[in-house]
Amino acid sequence: MTSVTKWAVAAAVLVGALIVALLPRGGDDSAAKPVGDLGAARSAAALQPCPAPGAAQPVKQLEGVTADCLGDGVRVDVGKALAGAPVLVNVWASWCEPCRTELPVLQEYAKQPGAVRVLGVQVQSPAKDGLDLLAKLGVHLPSVYDGNGQTGPVRTALKVPPRLPASYLVTAAGEIRFIANPPTFVNTDQVRAAVEGAS
């Protein structure tokens, strides 16, 4: 076999291997889905829609701060969405054990007559983990996703302490008040008292 023939055979084998490598594979369809596809997790969580921007002046401390709505991925201008009415903002992460206790309490509070709106802010954890946790807990509160890193725009603007969960009352006038006591809500009476005390 001449050296030219050897090169031709080697080239043919290489081309054949390349074609086989590029052929579509059967089996798990999920491998073909884009990374970060949250459609199924969002459907399972069935979160309430994030608040839409109102006509009132944006909350000054959150003016220009945006985050993705966890329920549908739509970009939310947080300063505008929280303007004009009192809102309880709860910052949580999927790995946070006290958050797992508190989130269902906030869900129950939000259903009560006279409750202020509640908005969750997921931080420091993957969005899918947060959606899976909310689905498992049966919590459907509107939430925004502030990223998986150590800081995010909402967390930075609120000056969230390292310990989670953290709750804030945004007043109708746009003032933001950190709720230090109790550090974690374990019943709806505590939530109501904290909201009234911060109003």
Residue 72 has pLDDT above 60, yes or no: yes
Claim: this prediction has a pTM higher than 0.75: yes
Distance (Å) of CA 139 to CA 130, 166, 188? 11, 17, 14
d(CA 71, CA 88): 18
Cα–Cα distance measured from residue 113 to residue 128, given in angstroms and rounded to the nearest whole number: 31
Decide which of 14 and 30 is more confident. 14
Mean pLDDT, to the nearest integer, of 157-162?
95
Residue tagged 């201008």 (tokens): 77
Give the model's confidence band at 37: pLDDT under 50 very low, under 70 low, under 90 confident, else very high. Answer: confident
User: If DSSP states are collapsed to H, E and C, what string results for 14-27?
Assistant: HHHHHHHHHCCCCC
State whether residue 67 is helix, strand or coil. strand
Residue with tokens 């199924």: 40
Return the pLDDT at 6. Answer: 47
Degrees, nearest 5: CA angle 132-109-69: 40
Work out the mean pLDDT of the chain and round it to a whole number. Answer: 86
DSSP per-residue string spanning 72-112: T--EEEHHHHTTTS-EEEEEE-TT-HHHHHHHHHHHHHHHS
pLDDT at residue number 188: 98
The pair phi, psi for residue 132, each rounded to 5°, is: -65, -40
Q: Which of 78, 89, 101, 105 is nearest to 179 (CA)?
A: 89
* Helix 97-111 vs helix 127-137: crossing angle, to nearest 10: 60
CB 41 within 8 Å of CB 71: no
Q: What is the pLDDT of residue 199?
A: 84
pLDDT of residue 113: 96
Span of 8-12, 33-37, 170-174, 189-193 with lowest mean pLDDT = 8-12
CB 138 within 8 A of CB 48: no
91 — pLDDT class (breaks 50, 70, 90): very high
